[in-house]
Amino acid sequence: MFVGLGQSYFFYLAPSILFWRHFMAGTHTLPELPYAYDALEPYIDEQTMRLHHDKHHLGYVNGLNKAEQGMAEARKSGNFDQIQHLERLAAFHGSGHFNHVMFWNNMCSPNNYSDPSGDLLNQIKKDFDSFDSFKAQFAAAAKAVEGSGWAFLCWQPGGNQLVTLAAENHQKQTQFTAIPVLALDVWEHAYYLKYQNNRGQYVDNFWNIVNWKDVARNFESAQQYKFPVK
């Protein structure tokens, strides 16, 4: 995320192109879910989805807007001592907001599930030896996150390969230039009502509701970014 001059810019993944989308600072909104609150049953329950989307995700949207508005005010007044603190807040809440946008779209009703195919599956097999090997590596990363965080499947344009990454909170321990195509939230609020302290079962059940069509669109878009590294 880059913040400056009262405006903000974020990398977005579109069905056919990776592009920069422009926002006026402090105007982000909570998107609706792309399915009903109970659509992910029995793997993620309706109560969790309502709490997660309507309360937690909204909190990140509000936090991002507040941080961006604060930075705009600090610039106008010349109070740059506050910028570092506000940038940290923007990084936390902004990452929380956009991680969740991807997370919601990366899932679908188990009734609509279909296995990955085509270029995405071929790349997974190339970089992880097999689909099962990828799932095992991704799941291990998700289960091993200390405290709160995320697991990601990312396209790394510097190496022209897919990699698995884990992030603490929303934004820490990530890899620059890596473009997420699949996200799994392993904060406790994502699973505790149904699974209590059994994060492992939650992670294992995630495979039943992955929207591989959405992941494939993200992968196609991510490949269009060329990073000048040999």
The structure's pTM equals 0.86
Token pair 């579109």 is found at 14
Q: Are 41 and 50 in contact (CB under 8 A)?
A: no
Q: What is the DSSP letter of 30?
A: P
Mean predicted confidence (pLDDT) in 35-39: 99
Token pair 């939650």 is found at 202
What the block records as the tokens of 9 is: 């810019």
In angstroms, the CA 81 to CA 84 distance is 7
Report pLDDT digits (tens) over 154-209. Answer: 999 988 999 999 987 755 555 667 899 999 999 999 999 999 999 999 999 999 99
pLDDT at position 16 is 31
**What long-range pairs does 160-169 form, CB within 8 A, spacing at least 24?**
161/123, 161/126, 161/127, 162/123, 162/124, 162/127, 162/128, 162/134, 162/219, 163/127, 164/134, 164/137, 164/138, 165/141, 166/141, 166/142, 167/95, 169/92, 169/95
pLDDT at position 194 is 98
How does residue 23 score in pLDDT terms, banded at 50, 70 and 90? low
Q: What is the DSSP letter of 53?
A: I
Q: Given strand 2-4, what is the order of strands in its sheet?
A: 2-4, 7-13, 18-24
What CATH number labels 111-222?
3.55.40.20
Same fold, 2-108 and 111-222: no
Q: Between 117 and 80, where is the model more confident?
A: 117
In CATH terms, the fold of domain 2-108 is Helix Hairpins (1.10.287)
- CB atoms < 10 A from the CB of 156, how many? 19
Q: Are 187 and 89 in contact (CB under 8 A)?
A: no
Report pLDDT digits (tens) over 98-137. Answer: 999 999 999 999 999 999 999 999 999 999 999 999 999 9
What does pLDDT average to over the chain?
Answer: 87
How does residue 78 score in pLDDT terms, banded at 50, 70 and 90? confident
Q: Do the strands 18-24 and 161-168 form a parallel or antiparallel pair, or are they unpaired? A: unpaired
In angstroms, the CA 108 to CA 199 distance is 20
- For residue 73, pLDDT over 60 is answered with yes
- For residue 5, pLDDT over 80 is answered with no
Per domain, the residue ranges of the chain are 2-108, 111-222
Measuring CA to CA, how many Å separate 14 from each of 41, 55, 66, 132, 178?
A: 27, 26, 27, 27, 16
